[in-house]
Amino acid sequence: MNVIRSDPFILISGDVVANINLQKAIAYHKKKRQEDSSNIMTLTLRKVQKTTGTKPLSEDLVIGMNKKTSQIVLFDDNISKSKVQIPIPLLKGNELSFTTEYLDCNVDICSPELILQFSDNFDYRDIRRDFIHNEVTNFALGKHIYGYVLENEYAARVQDPRSYHAISRDIVTRWVYPLVPDVQLLQSDTTYVQSKRHVYKEQGVKVSRSANIIEEVVIGRSSVIGDESTVTRSTIGRNVRVGNHVTIRESHIWNNVTIEDNVFISEAIICDGAVIKSGAVIPRGSIISFGVVVEAATQLKDYTRMTKVRDARNTVNEVCARELTAWVPHIRRRKKVLHQSSGKPTRPCLTVTARTTTMTTLMKTTTTPSTLPVPCV
């Protein structure tokens, strides 16, 4: 409490990429604070499509919000649950909306009282899944939390390779301006120049005349692209050597990587110093770690990652591979409309669908879309 003295203060994850005007967000929090002295926290939210890459597959966030005040009354991010429960008293006299279209940006405007709440609830392990989830449902005695929905601004958190790729593409396509490659905000030694179709090249890049650089490509300093090679929707770091007849799509090649002739790379990450020898196939979801050498004509399976590790049974480094199960796409579990069939609840509850449901006073209208499509990595 003695360390944080500003009122309000900003709580933000270190892996957030954003171009938010924080002054507007702080002013919004102060306004809500004047209207409601129980307001201790304002969450920044952004509307996104259900299958967007910036929304992790491990999240199934359902947010309920008062349409008039923007107070959050439901915050459920437990993907293992098949349904959500809404206390019936909450619906009386309130116009509420329930949706899964919001992305939690992990940028929070907080009042100092929040620290005291953390001290009182020291057994909570996660701020969102424990503290916020329980606090918003305790609408009678708990502190209040409000939502601030971004408009024409960007914020997202890099949580896995899928979101890493999606946010990288948003940067390249200038949705996060001024955080773009050709603006020297993060590194002062960059010399990127943008050309058509969102292609960026630094000084010293050599691209063969027969190479095909299609769209949304970033190529770092002193990198070389060989004859009849194709690159699309990918980032290539500095001092990268790409041979002839190479295909790179939807991938990220870091610094000092060597890619020999006739290599195929799709939706993968190749880390610093890796060597991909002739004829190798690096398929969807693969991660090749620092300094790994993929031998010629090797065909990896989807969602494979390779890294140099020291085996406790041996004194030499070995290259190990295993399936990256966290990347396997799946259909998010739909939450069905089910009424409580057994047992008496502690208070009246109504169980509703969690799929973009619009609920007005006393549930006069309810709309639910069809089954979600399979998200792509």
Mean pLDDT computed over 225-232: 98
Mean pLDDT computed over 207-222: 96
Q: Computed from CA positions of residues 320, 321, 322, 328, in that sequence, does the dihedral angle turn out positive or negative?
A: positive
Predicted confidence at residue 51, as pLDDT, reads 66
Q: Can you read off the two tokens belonging to residue 130?
A: 């424990």
Greater pLDDT, 348 or 108: 108
Share of the chain above pLDDT 70, in %: 79
Check residue 299 and report its DSSP letter: B
d(CA 377, CA 112): 39
Could you tell me if 110 and 7 are in contact, meaning their C-beta atoms sit under 8 angstroms apart? no
Predicted confidence at residue 50, as pLDDT, reads 67
Helix (H) and strand (E) counts for the chain?
Answer: 4, 32
Could you tell me if 299 and 281 are in contact, meaning their C-beta atoms sit under 8 angstroms apart? yes
Q: Can you read off the two tokens belonging to residue 152?
A: 């024409």
Predicted confidence at residue 365, as pLDDT, reads 28
Could you tell me if 279 and 263 are in contact, meaning their C-beta atoms sit under 8 angstroms apart? yes
Could you tell me if 295 and 274 are in contact, meaning their C-beta atoms sit under 8 angstroms apart? no
Residue 332 CB partners (closer than 8 Å, separation 6+): 50, 57, 60, 79, 372, 375
* DSSP track, 95-118: -EEEES-EEEEEEEEE-THHHHHH
pLDDT digits (tens, 9 = 90+) for 38-81: 899 999 999 987 667 787 777 788 898 988 899 998 898 877 77
Predicted confidence at residue 134, as pLDDT, reads 84
Q: Can you read off the two tokens belonging to residue 248?
A: 């790179």
Backbone angles phi, psi at 103, to 5 degrees: -100, 125
Q: Which strand ranges, in their side-by-side order, compose the sheet holding 234-236?
A: 193-195, 199-201, 217-219, 234-236, 252-253, 269-270, 287-288, 304-310, 317-323
d(CA 265, CA 304): 13
In the chain, what are the domains?
9-159+330-363 (3.90.550), 168-327 (2.160.10.10)
Greater pLDDT, 351 or 291: 291
Q: Say whether pLDDT at 113 is over 60.
A: yes
Per the prediction, the chain carries an average pLDDT of 80
d(CA 153, CA 18): 8
Based on its alpha-carbon atoms, the radius of gyration of the chain, rounded to whole angstroms, reads 24
pLDDT digits (tens, 9 = 90+) for 124-161: 778 888 888 888 877 666 789 999 999 999 999 998 99
d(CA 20, CA 176): 9
Confidence of residue 259 (pLDDT cuts 50, 70, 90): very high
Predicted confidence at residue 332, as pLDDT, reads 36
Predicted confidence at residue 2, as pLDDT, reads 65
d(CA 56, CA 104): 11
